[in-house]
Amino acid sequence: MQLDPTDEQAMIVRTAREFATRVLAPRAAARDQSEQFPVEELGELARLGLLGVNVPAAYGGAQAGPVAYALAMMELARADASVTVAVTVTNMAAELICQWGNEAQRERWVGKLIGGPYVVGSFALSEPHAGSDAGSLHTLATRLPGGGYRLRGTKQWITSGSHAGLFVVWAKTDLAAGQRGLSAFVVEKGTPGLSAGKPEDKMGLRGSSTVQLLLDDVEVGPDALLGREGDGFRIAMTALDGGRIGIASQAVGIATAALEASTRYAKERVQFGAPIANLQAIQLMLADMATWRDAARLLTLRAAWLKESGQSYTLAASIAKLVASEKCSKICDMAVQIHGGYGYTREFPVERYLRDARVTRIYEGTSEIQRVVIAREVLRDMT
């Protein structure tokens, strides 16, 4: 594993950092309060190639690889985790179509997904009664007599669902086959019968929109099917392996922002006649925060590097996501503690970091599901 970034990776990091510092950071608090979806910012991110970092150039992507992707998401999340989740889900949907779609599907959708016309993409797997147990979904896809499918059901927790131009939607094509009866479809915004519910009133990531997605007899052509009928569960799982690197990167970015804000504050805030950074109680917290952030960052880059070098990375991605999300929450909590009463107000950004961090332990597989995956992989390796 190469620890120094290549020239190309360094360039992507510079691009992401410059944009994050100049455009995202100054308005992050306002977006959190107004809950305004960042349409303009996402347009600029599309122009910079950051909606398709690991997408082949042939389809309009930056083709910079999973390590560059992880590094870029860390930079964006350091400035605004709300914008970052829309970016990670779009990258995940684009990679998924590149991996599982045929040439015509890749040409038809990927460029528009990562290049601006669709704004962002959504990943519509979860349902009101199918969260961690992703294979138990109820949405049905019935074959139409003339070819194509009719989709009917309700999806839940759909990131960017109110603004996305393209949705990857999972549905059952075979009721008797359990997980092997799931299939994945691409559905474009504006397809009759497709609508988004009202945005959820969330604790954090308030600049991102999370909605129910209603599929009321949505008809799609046969070319909307990704892979073959029955491939859906495997498509979801492989996409989530990569998605978990994105969420781990998001957590590392939030943790970095919390550590930096705390270090700054500790040097400025004077108590007992000296900056609180001189107090060992504060130093111990900063030491833990820096240690956990670095551990999470290295685990995340290891998972990305395994993916980049074509090796199995399911285990590494779940380990990275588990450690990064859990430690990020602790780091943000300590950041509030270091800021004292001020940290509990909106005058400082650390309360937002704490709220934003919380969901990284839930979405794209809870910490408990990451442990399930890790245990299975470890036990399989031992046999």
Binding segment for ligand CAA (CB under 6 A), chosen from 183-191, 211-219, 337-345, 361-369, is 361-369
CB of 233 to ligand CAA, least distance (A): 5
Q: Give the burial class of 150: count Cβ atoms within 10 A of its Cβ; 0-12 exposed, 13-18 middle, 19 or more buried.
A: middle
Closer CB to ligand CAA, residue 105 or residue 159? Answer: 159
241 counts as binding ligand CAA under rule CB under 6 A = yes
Largest CA distance in the chain: 80
Chosen residue from 185, 233, 305, 353 binding ligand CAA by CB under 6 A: 233
Q: Which of 41, 95, 326, 364 is catalytic?
A: 364
- Tell whether residue 126 is a contact of ligand CAA (CB under 6 A): yes
Angle between helices 314-343 and 367-382 (to 10 degrees): 150
Contacts 24+ apart (CB under 8 A), 105-108: 105/186, 105/223, 105/226, 106/59, 107/59
For the bound state, the minimum distance from the C-beta of residue 383 to ligand CAA, rounded and expressed in Å, comes to 15
Total residues contacting ligand CAA by CB under 6 A comes to: 25
Q: Which stretch binds ligand CAA (CB under 6 A): 108-116, 119-127, 146-154, 257-265?
A: 119-127
The H-or-E segment that residue 175 falls in is none
The residues pairing with 158 across neighbouring beta strands, listed in sequence order, are 211
Residue 322 in contact with residue 374, Cβ under 8 Å? yes
Residue closer to ligand CAA, measured from CB, 9 or 82: 82
Residues numbered 74 to 93 that lie near ligand CAA (CB under 6 A) are: 85, 89
Nearest residue to 243 via CA among 69, 58, 12, 359: 69
Binding residue for ligand CAA, selected from 314, 325, 329, 360, defined by CB under 6 A: 314
Look up residue 342 and give its amino acid: Y
Residue 371 binds to ligand CAA (criterion: CB under 6 A): no
200 part of the active site? no
Nearest-angstrom CA–CA distance, 285 and 331: 9
Q: Which is nearer to ligand CAA, 123 or 348 (CB)?
A: 123
Rank residues 15 and 160 by Cβ distance to ligand CAA and give the closer one. 160
Binding segment for ligand CAA (CB under 6 A), chosen from 121-129, 191-199, 249-257, 349-357, is 121-129
How far CA 23 is from CA of 28, 53, 243, 251, 295, in Å, comes to 9, 19, 25, 20, 29
CB of 58 to ligand CAA, least distance (A): 25
- Segment contacting ligand CAA (CB under 6 A): 165-173, 288-296, 327-335, 358-366? 358-366
- How far apart CA 205 and CA 261 sit, in angstroms, is 19
Can you tell me the distance from the alpha carbon of 351 to that of 216, in angstroms, rounded to the nearest whole number? 39
- Assign 3-state DSSP to the chain and report helix, strand, coil percentages, each to 5: 60, 15, 25
Residue 180 engages ligand CAA in binding (rule: CB under 6 A) = yes
In sequence order, which residues have a C-beta less than 8 Å from that of residue 383 and are 6 or more positions away?
none
Establish if 372 lies at the interface with ligand CAA (CB under 6 A): yes
Between residues 137 and 289, which has the closer beta carbon with respect to ligand CAA?
137
Structure tokens at 194: 């497709």
**Shortest distance in whole angstroms from residue 204 CB to ligand CAA:** 13
Nearest to ligand CAA of 150, 180 (CB atom) = 180
Interface ranges with ligand CAA (CB under 6 A):
85, 89, 123, 125-126, 132-135, 159, 179-180, 233-234, 237-238, 240-241, 314, 363-365, 369, 372-373
Active site residues: 364
